Amino acid sequence: MSVTLDDSAFLAGLQRAFEGFEKHEIPAHKLKVAGEIRDRAKQIAEAHRLTGETIDSIEVTQEGDDVYVGTDLGEKAISEEFGTFDQAPRPFMRPAELEASR
């Protein structure tokens, strides 16, 4: 199975959790919410644990004032999150982000 992604919407979409934050809000607040999303995503992904590779790869990263939650597994994580023709989606990032959004 090979899957290629045309854009980076997967990770970019996760930034939605931070919409509504004012620019002057301290990154620590963002990091706290990001940590909550990461922990919940790991919890959801546990339901379909095989090797644990996906779960272990879910991390929070920071670039300047921007905070990201996601995984660097790329193709594998995308297949898991959105499914393939042979496998139903097993979303773990979007539900976690929904629960944390305000």
Partner 1 sequence: MSLTLGGALKAYLEGQGLGIAVYTDAPPSTVIPPSKAPYKPYVIVNEDIGLKLDSGKAADTALTGVELVQLDLWQCFRILDKSKESPTLADALTRALQSARLSTAPSLIYGIKQQGRVRTVERDNNLIHHAYTIAVLREV
Binding site for partner 1 (CB under 8 A): 1-7, 9-10, 13, 16, 78, 82-86, 88-89, 91, 94-95, 98-99, 101
Closest approach, Cβ 98 to partner 1, in A, equals 4
Could you tell me which of 44, 34, 90, 19 has the C-alpha nearest to residue 67? 34
Tokens 């909550």 appear where?
A: 36
- What does the chain come to in residues? 102
> Rounded to whole angstroms, how far apart are CA atoms 7 and 77?
14
Closest approach, Cβ 53 to partner 1, in A, equals 20
Identity of the residue, 9 or 31, whose beta carbon is nearer to partner 1 in the bound complex: 9
Identity of the residue, 27 or 90, whose beta carbon is nearer to partner 1 in the bound complex: 90
> Rounded to whole angstroms, how far apart are CA atoms 9 and 87?
21
Closest approach, Cβ 24 to partner 1, in A, equals 25
